Amino acid sequence: MTYEDLDRAHLWHPFTPMRQWLGEPPLVIERAEGNELIDTEGRRYLDGVSSLWVNVHGHRHPHIDAAIKAQLDKVAHSTLLGLASAASARLAEKLVAVAPAGLSRVFFSDSGSTAVEVALKIAFQFHQLRGDVRRTKFLALENAYHGDTLGAVSVGGIDNFQRVFHPLLFHTIRVPPVLDALRYLLAAHSKDLCALILEPLVQGAAGMRLLPPGLAAGAQAACREHGVLLIADEVATGFGRTGTMFACQQEGVTPDLLAVAKGLSGGYLPVAATLCTEQVFAQFLGAPEERLTFFHGHSFGGNTLGCAAALASLELFESERTLEKLPEKIAALRARLFEKIAPLPHVFEVRQKGMMVGIELRRDRTHPYAPSDAVGARACRLARLHGLILRPLGDVVVLMPPLSISLPQIEKLVDGTAAAIGEATSTSHVESPPRVPSPPPIRPSRGVFVAGTDTAVGKTAVACALLRCARRRGFVPVGFKPVETGCSPLPQDALALRAAAGRDDLALSDVCPYPLVPSLAPAAAALVTGSALVRGDLLACAARVRARGDFFVVEGAGGLLSPYTPDTTAADLAAALDLPVLLVARNGLGTINHTALAVAELRRRGLALAGVVLVDTTAEASPDRAHNAHFIEAATGVRPLCTLGHVPARDPDALADEFERRIDVGALLASLAAR
Ligand SMILES: *Cc1c(COP(=O)(O)O)cnc(C)c1O
């Protein structure tokens, strides 16, 4: 059997759709030399992503190889539980010397995920030991990635990685990477937050998203002010990748806890570390019976061979002056990227920080590729024919070469990537988008707030119908449900809104930042789950997602005056968002009174009424239905736009078809646009 056969017979690859994997011949890497990987056929490839972001000085570096061999002649592994080791002691000293000043203690583990778990648990226990037992929540950035173990996934913000595990995760408060929003939430939750975790400067797995300059420094200041610990996850950014040893150092930040892994051993062996300040460490000091011990440890934590490799890697930073040589390489990379890749027709954006690069591909400026186009994967596959190994993040082609890459290799990397992107995005590969009717002229971010006279009146059905109709007319609609209660635990309404809008590119947490389990009014559900809803935060989330499309449909929770916070109702949110209200009422007995009261309240508040829609929420006919529209008009002077017949499932196309049958949707959209 060949290696290919054995692989297909027995391996389960990480982050890999295995059906597809089994259908293609795998590339089998057998050896490496410097910055090149060599396959079983002897073909050479430039390692364009540092073997998944880990390699630093190239493969088979004589100094690291020799250090590992020398250590092997002494001992390969001995435990740190109850014993010390020469290699771990020397590495800890060296790590503290290069880390942001003030980090003085090192807890060793074996992967980025475990380094993050350790940081989360230390932060949590730190406050418990101080007697500040209410500090149990973590604040994390949207689109963050912190690893794959459950704690790390809980603080992550990438929907695809979280969705299926939702019931297993602990609740984390998420914030867009905006300093004002961060400050706001830190203040709002100043008594119940234990730590803020972030990837400084660059969110790697999010697609190499660059954070606003000053965010890490501002976050540190705000954390200090509110007694919240700051955890910097430098698993990806550490060890020179952003141009300095650690990304934190570019903003003069010393976090309370720092997680490092990937590049720590030069990319040779699985070693990771969580560094902390003496202040954090001191909290855990006491007699054994005081129960101050940090009960955590991994069998291979601080593996001796790994520590020897890491020590050798840090020595190379000095002897080869790795960081001093970087500015020239980073500048060359930038120049070449902007010459060869930025001008390509389907390159939406080129993001670079140091040696970390994300090239985002889009069908055109406003439309992403369909997931089935798999354009990023195709580009990376084609890159092999140009002698490059790359791995994308969705439609983002990532370049993250070893720091040892030479200037000619930088040219080869960028030129080969440009060629592969050109081939992957040429029209012969990608079908042209389906023709849609051209959109009516509309200014960006117009939209509507769908409010109900009561709960369970058909708001989601109406919002979905509207989103799908907008989509059919070529809008890029965005559905938003700021708070959904009665989640099971997934927010079903938000899922329906996202599907109706055809916006799988939006994270579920963008569409519904606050999915709450209790079936209560939002403010009450927040109270019993301890998830303090804050008006400013809801508005910040709304503003952020609103900017991602050109037609914004917000669905309220419950009725028009149902409370989100003690002093914010759905009507207040509609007013703050400056959106007209589309009032949805159940077409049944009692609806005339409810609708008339709601219309009167909208008028009292001076809110624009986009219309009233009645919904048959059940299939059974009832005698009152035929009269409701007439008497609502008599009572309010507003003629309901339509009555939607009962549509059993939440199929967006069936809902949209029913909506189109009942009213002139084009005119409604145009009237919302003209406001
Ligand atoms: C890769 C990564 C992790 C997880 O590290 P593993 O070694 O894969 O467990 C955590 N955080 C960040 C920022 C990463 O890029």
User: Which pLDDT tens digit goes with each residue over 506-545?
Assistant: 888 899 999 998 999 999 998 888 777 888 889 988 988 9
Q: How many C-beta atoms lie closer than 10 Å to residue 388's C-beta?
A: 25
pLDDT band of residue 438 (cuts 50, 70, 90) is: very low
pLDDT tens readout for residues 236-247: 999 999 999 999
Nearest CA to ligand 1 atom 5: 112
pLDDT tens readout for residues 297-306: 999 999 999 9
Q: Are 425 and 359 in contact (CB under 8 A)?
A: no
- pLDDT value at 462 more than 90: yes
pLDDT tens readout for residues 580-630: 999 999 999 999 999 999 999 999 888 899 999 999 988 888 888 888 998
Find, among 472, 446, 448, 451, the residue nearest to 655 by Cα: 472
- Look at residue 34 and give its three-state secondary structure: strand
For the chain, percent of residues with pLDDT exceeding 70: 97
- Look at residue 4 and give its three-state secondary structure: helix
Q: Are 391 and 54 in contact (CB under 8 A)?
A: no
Residue type, 572: D
Task: State which H helix or E strand residue 180 sits in.
Answer: helix 179-188
Helix residue ranges, H only, 288-392: 304-319, 322-336, 375-383
Residue type, 426: S
pLDDT tens readout for residues 198-234: 999 999 999 999 999 999 999 999 999 999 999 999 9
Q: Are 673 and 443 in contact (CB under 8 A)?
A: yes
- Look at residue 138 and give its three-state secondary structure: strand
Largest CA distance in the chain: 93
Average pLDDT value over all residues in the chain: 92
pLDDT tens readout for residues 61-71: 999 999 999 99
Lookup result for tokens 């048959």 = 616
Token pair recorded at residue 222: 């705000």
Q: Of 235, 248, 303, 398, which is best to mutate to test ligand 1, by the most ligand atoms within 8 angstroms of its C-beta?
A: 235
146 CA from centroid of ligand 1 (Å): 6
pLDDT, position 649? 78
Q: Which atom of ligand 1 is nearest to the CA of 272?
A: 7
pLDDT band of residue 504 (cuts 50, 70, 90) is: confident
CB under 6 Å to ligand 1: residues? 111-113, 116, 145-147, 199, 204-205, 233, 235-236, 261-262
Q: Which atom of ligand 1 is nearest to the CA of 205?
A: 15
Find, among 123, 161, 155, the residue nearest to 142 by Cα: 155
| Separation CA 591–CA 450 (nearest Å) | 17
Q: Which atom of ligand 1 is nearest to the CA of 234?
A: 13
| Separation CA 118–CA 108 (nearest Å) | 9
Q: How many C-beta atoms lie closer than 10 Å to residue 6's C-beta?
A: 11
Find, among 428, 399, 427, 405, the residue nearest to 340 by Cα: 399
pLDDT, position 434? 46
Nearest CA to ligand 1 atom 6: 112
pLDDT band of residue 674 (cuts 50, 70, 90) is: low
Question: Per residue, what are the HEC states of 546-566?
Answer: HCCCCEEEEEEEEECCCEEEC
Q: Which atom of ligand 1 is nearest to the CA of 152?
A: 10
260 CA from centroid of ligand 1 (Å): 9
123 CA from centroid of ligand 1 (Å): 19
